[in-house]
Chains A and B, each alone.
Chain A
Amino acid sequence: MSNSPKKKLVTLTIDGFQVTARPGMTVKAAAAKAGITIPTLCFLRGVSAIGSCRVCSVELEGHDGFITACNTPVADGMVIHTDTERVRTYRRNLLRIILADHGLDSTAYCFSCAKNGACQLQALCNAYGATEPAWRVEQERKPILESNPFLAYDPNLCIRCQRCVGACNTQARNHTLHTAKRGMRTTIEAPFGPDWKATTCESCGCCAAACPTGAIVEKRRRTYRSWETRRVRTTCPHCAVGCQYDLVVRNNRIVDVDAAPGQTNDRRLCVKGRSASFDFVDAPDRLRTPLVRNPTTHELEPASWDEALDAVAEGLGRVKREYGPDALAGFACSRSTNEDIYLFEKMVRCAFGTNNVDNCARI
Chain B
Amino acid sequence: MAMLSVAPKSPDDERLGAFVDDFRRRVDSTPLGVCPLVVTLTALETAAGQTCGKCVPCRDGIPHLVELMRTLVDCDADASVVDEMRELSQLVRDTSDCAIGYHAADQLLAALDAFSAEVESHLERHACTAGIGQTVPCETGCPAHVNVPGYIALVAAGDNAGAVAMVRKDNPFPTACGLVCEHPCEAKCRRRLIDDAINIRGIKKYATDQAPADHVPVPRRSPDTGCRIAVVGGGPAGMTCAYFASLMGHRVTVFERRSKLGGMMRYGIPAYRFPRERLDEDLRAILSVGGIEVKYGAEIGTEEFEALRRDYDAVFVAIGAHTGRTLSIDNIDADGVIPAVQLLGDIGDGAEPDMTGKRVVVIGGGNVAMDCSRTALRAGAREVSIVYRRRQEDMTALQSEVLSAVAEGVEMVTLEAPAAIEVDDAGHCTALLTQPQMTGPIRNGRPSPVALDVPQHRIPADLILVAVGQDIVSGPFNAAGMPTNRNRFVADDALRVPDMPGVYAGGDCQTGPKTVIKAIGAGKVAARNIDEYLGYHHTLPFDIAVPAPHPNDRTPVGRVNIAERPARERRCDFAGVEIGMSAQEARQECARCLRCDVYGIGSAEGGRVQYE
Contacts and interface: CB of A to CB of B under 8 A. Distances in A.
Contact of B605 (A67, A165, A182): A165
A67 B547 CA distance: 18
Interface in A33-67: 49-52, 60, 63-65, 67
Contact of B157 (A2, A169, A184): A2
B74 A183 contact: yes
Interface in B295-337: none
B391 interface: no
B547 A184 contact: no
The secondary structure that dominates the A interface is loop
A169 B605 contact: yes
A71 B600 CA distance: 12
Contacts of A63: 551
A2 B154 contact: yes
B604 interface: yes
Given A3-B544, A179-B133, A166 B605 contact: yes
B479 to A, nearest CB: 45
B561 interface: no
A155 B11 CA distance: 49
A50 B603 contact: yes
Contact of B128 (A50, A169, A183): A183
B99 interface: no
B132 A181 contact: yes
Interface string B105-138: 0000000000000000010001110001100000
B442 interface: no
B128 A182 contact: yes
Contacts of A185: 74
A3 B159 contact: yes
Given A3-B544, A184-B73, A178 B605 contact: yes
B139 to A, nearest CB: 17
Contact of B604 (A24, A50, A182): A50
Interface residues of B, number: 33
B127 A65 contact: no
Interface string A167-192: 00110000000111111110100000
Contacts of B397: none
A72 B37 CA distance: 34
B604 A52 contact: yes
A355 to B, nearest CB: 36
B152 to A, nearest CB: 12
A166 B606 CA distance: 10
B554 A65 contact: yes
A168 B163 CA distance: 32
A213 interface: no
B548 interface: yes
Contacts of B605: 50, 162, 165-166, 169-170, 178-179
B545 interface: yes
A294 B73 CA distance: 74
A181 to B, nearest CB: 4
B552 A3 contact: no
Nearest to B550: A75
Given A65-B554, A183-B128, A184-B35, A2 B159 contact: yes
A1 interface: yes
A242 interface: no
Given A178-B606, A183-B75, A183-B128, A73 B548 contact: yes
Given A2-B159, A50-B604, A169-B605, A180 B128 contact: yes
Contacts of B555: 64
Interface in B521-563: 544-545, 547-552, 554-555
B603 A49 contact: yes
A338 to B, nearest CB: 33
Contacts of A23: 548
Nearest to B75: A182
Contacts of A75: 550
A1 B159 contact: yes
Contact of A183 (B38, B554, B598): B38
Interface string A210-242: 000000000000000000000000000000000
B353 interface: no
A123 to B, nearest CB: 25
Interface of B: 35, 37-38, 73-75, 122, 126-128, 132-133, 153-154, 157-159, 162, 544-545, 547-552, 554-555, 598, 603-606
The 4 A-B pairs at the shortest CB distance, nearest first, are namely A183-B73, A2-B157, A181-B128, A2-B547
Interface of A: 1-3, 23-24, 49-52, 60, 63-65, 67, 71-73, 75, 162, 165-166, 169-170, 178-185, 187
Given A1-B157, A49-B603, 19 more contacts: A1-B159, A2-B545, A3-B545, A23-B548, A50-B605, A64-B555, A65-B552, A73-B548, A75-B550, A162-B604, A162-B605, A165-B604, A178-B605, A182-B74, A182-B126, A182-B127, A182-B128, A183-B37, A183-B122
